[in-house]
Amino acid sequence: MDKKLRLQTLTGMRDILPQEQVYFKKVQKSVESITNYYDFKRIDTPILESAEVFSKGTGATTDIVQKEMYSFRTKGGDLVALRPEFTPGIARSYIENGMYNMPQPVKLWTLGPCFRYERPQAGRYRQLLQFDIEAIGDRSASIDGQIIQMSYDILKDLSFKNLNIEVNSIGDQECRSHFKKILTNYFKSRKSSLCSDCQRRLKENPLRILDCKEEKCQRIRSGAPQIIDHLCEACHAHFKQVLEFLDELELPYVLNPYLVRGLDYYTKTVFEIVEKSETGAIQGALVGGGRYDGLLKVLGGRDTPACGAAGGIDRIMNLMKLREVKPDKKDEKPMIFLAQLGQLAKRKSLKLFEEFRASKIPVAESFSKDSLRSQLNSANKMGVKWVLIFGQKEALENFITLRNMETGVQEEIKLDKVVEEMKAKVKS
C-alpha cells in the first residue's frame, strides 16, 4: 500500500499558533510603545531584495552571506535573496528614498521575519522573527546610548530580569586595519589549533575569530590582544562618551574586549544584552547591535553615520512562555458575552456586535451555537461578568436581557441604549 503523502513545515520553519500569538503580540506592543515614545517611525522593507544589498552590506565573507543566505536567480536572471537581517535593506531604503533631506537623525523601527539557512535548534529557526531599531545620520555617542537604553527598556518591559549589557568598541577603518595585523600575527602561530572556519577567517577577517563559539577557539582567544588598547584617539574618545552615557543612565554593563559581532559593517560601539540565570549562566544574547558609520557609503550613498540594534523575538517568546509571562488581563479577555437565539436575533446581533466594535468594547460571542445553555456554558468558561441574552421576543420588542453572571440578577435594557449602558458598566 502506498504511503499517504504527509505535508508538513520545512526544516527550521514553524507555525505561530493562536496560543503563541499572545506572546508575539506582547513583544510587538512593547517594541511599538517604546519606539513611539522615542519618536521612531515604522518602516517596512521588502522580504526579497537584490542579493547585492546583503553581500555588500552585511559582508561577502560573513557566515550569513557565505553559508546562511537564501539566494536564487529569478526567471529574468536577477540574483535575489530573502533578507537575513534588516539593517542593509533599511540603509538601501534611506538612500533610495532621499532621506538625507529629512531632519537628521532619521529614526526608524520595524519587525517581521528574516531568513537564514542554519542548523535549527532551541529558539533558533530558519524563518526567524526580529525587531529592529535604527538611527541614521548622527555621529553623537548619545545616539549609541539611546539605542542601548531602548533595547534594555524593551526587555525590562517584557519582564526580563538580571540583564547585563556587554559592550566594546571595534574602532574604525583607521585603527582597525592596524589592529588586524597585530591580531593576525597572534593567531598565525596558533592556526593549527583553530577550527576550520577560523582558519578561513584568519585570512579573510581575523576579527571574526573573536566571535567564534567553538571552545578550542575561545581558549586561544583568551590570550589575544584587545582592540580597546589599540583604538585611535577619535574612537577612544567616542567610546569613553558612550560609557559615560551608560553610567549616567545607570545601566548595568560590562566591558567585553572580545565582543565584535559577526557583521562587516560595524564600527566603534558594539553591544549585546544578555540575561543571567540564577546560577550565573548566560542565556544567550537577546538583543545586539552597534554603530555602522560606513554602511551607507558601501551601498552607494553618502558617508553617513548610523547606529542600530536587533532583537531575536523567537528566543524572547520562548523564554516568556517558559516563565509563563502573560499579557495584561485587560488585553486577554472581554467582560461581555452576546448570546442569541433564533434567526431574527442572530441577524440583529451582527449589527449590534458591530456597534460594540465601533465603540471599542470587546464582546465575545458564539454565533454558531443555538442553545442558550451551551452559550452560557461558553460564557462561564471565559469568565465574563455579563451576558447579553437576545432571543426572539427581545428581537421583536427591541430590548435585550442582561444577566450578571456573578449574582444571577437579570434586567432588561432597550436595544438602542445597550451599547451606551454597557460602556458605563465596563468602565466602572
CA dist., res. 188 & res. 206, Å (int): 10
Q: Which of 352, 359, 407 is nearest to 385 (CA)?
A: 407
Poorest-pLDDT segment among 37-51, 56-70, 127-141? 56-70
Percent of the chain beyond pLDDT 90? 50
Q: Which of 62, 311, 67, 84 is nearest to 211 (CA)?
A: 62
pLDDT for 283: 64
pLDDT for 378: 83
Average pLDDT over the chain, rounded to an integer: 88
pLDDT band at 1 (very low <50, low <70, confident <90, very high): very low
pLDDT at 281 over 60: no
pLDDT for 367: 67
pLDDT for 177: 84
pLDDT for 2: 54
DSSP state letter for 45: -
Query: In the numeric block, which cell numbers belong to residue 173?
Result: 577603518
| Residue ranges of the binding site | 85-87, 116, 130, 134, 261, 265-266
| Contact (CB, 8 A) for 265 and 87 | yes
pLDDT at 214 over 90: no
Helix extents (H) in 45-172: 51-57, 63, 87-96, 141-157
pLDDT at 44 over 90: yes
DSSP state letter for 124: B
pLDDT for 327: 60
Poorest-pLDDT segment among 73-82, 84-93, 332-341, 412-421? 332-341
Q: Give the chain's end-to-end CA distance (angstroms, integer).
A: 65
Domains annotated for the chain, with CATH where assigned, are 18-172+232-322 (3.30.930.10), 333-427 (3.40.50.800)
Sole residue written with cell 560590562: 254
pLDDT band at 276 (very low <50, low <70, confident <90, very high): confident
Mean pLDDT of 322-343: 74
| Residue ranges of the binding site for L-histidine | 85-87, 116, 130, 134, 261, 265-266
